[in-house]
A and B are shown apart, each in its own frame.
Chain A
Amino acid sequence: MTTTTEPTPSQAAAMRHAKAKDRKKSSGRLMIFGFLSPTLIILLFMVAYPIISLISYSFYNFSALNPHEGYKWAGLDNYSYLLSDSALWKRFIFTGKFVFVCVSLQMLIGIFVGYQLQKAFRGRDVIFTMLMMPMMLSPVVVGFLWRYMLNSEWGVVNYLLSGVGITDVGWLSQTTPALFAAAAADTWMWTPFIILLATAAFRGIPDTIYEAAEVDGASPAYKFFRLTLPMSAPVLFIALILRLIDSFKQYDLFFALTGGGPGSSTETVSFAVAKLAFSYFYTGEASALAVILLFIIIGLSMILVRHLNKMGEKY
């Protein structure tokens, strides 16, 4: 078994050193720079540069129609004008209401369905996959689809509701129903996201925790509120933040579903920016409103990233 003819390791090592050239240790700096720079360049050019220019535009009063002249320094006029404009506050309030209704509805339904889907039954995975489809569709298609279904004369929704005694609701013609119409479409699209994260949160809890609880004689309700919910809170919080950000900046759905109507009652903040910039071409003011919107979203994203990193370490 012993291989006596073998050169002793140190001699073998000496032979090999001649063969292997002593390359200096590349500290990986080159790889870091080489791999990161393309992504950094494109993002700086397509994101950082536009945001900085937006911020500078928001201090000027000019219009995109004739950008060459009319660079009048407006200081904070744009901001003060916006913040004093009651129409704008109405839009902020509407967006707030919309976000509140959507997110609370989606969290409730999502957690409920996610919890029920935890128990394995035949065909669960197929149903689960199919339930995920709505969030993958283009908001424009969803908008039109719901506009077709919610039509007060020939919409299928009114037909189904008349069956239970609620007759022809003007979904798209009255302000409050329009809010709930938009919320219904957004909830239809994004509840699957909450179901997905809730299922992941519940599956993240090891079985031994439930076995320990069973051995400790905890009732199902006690188990859910004292164990399942608190232990899945971090993931559910991430789901909440993500939904807050996405529903706050919703634009495509409104464009297709209500077009901002009836009147301007369902115009969100995003809508207002689009209107200011591309209908009235008040670019200065539009930039100011855009900057306000950006800071709200960036603020929410900071909270999100902190929790994502904390979650990243836990896994």
Chain B
Amino acid sequence: MEYLVPILLFVGLGLLAGILLTVFSRVFAVEQDERAVKVREVLPGANCGACGYAGCDAYAEAVAKGAKPNACIPGGTDVARQVSEIMGVAFEGVAAKKATIRCNGNCHVTSDKYVYTGEPTCAACNVLYSGRSTCTSGCLGFGDCAKVCPYGAITVADGVAVVNRQLCTGCGLCVKACPNGLIEVFDETQKVEVICSSVFNTKATLAICKNGCIACKKCERTCPSDAIHVKDNHASVDHDKCTGCGACVEGCPTHCIHILD
């Protein structure tokens, strides 16, 4: 007797479980385009939004409905190739993008207005007289961008955030995290960038930061392809015209234009 009842009980439970599961998975199947599921598995899953969609799930559904298969920047070329295979669409290369932090005001070249002992985040510090460093548009060094980077590509060295271009996938999460908007994401092939976003005039910048762009317009004159212009007291590179010749780099008196490795 004690053998029969447990066996009957569990066979019944197993039967019930099996039937319910198959029925439920059949009847209540969400008409999910299985291509979207396959694309979702290929995507890295960092939900970074570089593709312009709310996350990987949203992007996968969009691809199933015909969105461009190579918009996943962090995934790079191999993800783009897999996605286009799944969708059976012609594969186009993905322009790999890298982030750059346009400030080199480390602790050796600039100083602080006050000693900040509050909440150790750039966002909080930026509220107090727009940041502790004398340069109000410079990097605060609390690493908000480092914390948000899913790939650990950004580290804070000597009070300035630095991007490790090998690890960076150009997902762009750090751009939103920086209160001073110092970070810009552009094609990996573009090598020249002005590493300063100072809004102060020549005399003020000279006093504040040795690495700062003093808006002397020397680079504007030496640039053969008219790709660099000084706007609101600091030079900025127009990446479409810039050929990466590096003429402006030597000319710059404070060496704030860098060739990115």
Partners in one complex: no
A contact residues vs B (CB 8 Å cutoff): none
B contact residues vs A (CB 8 Å cutoff): none
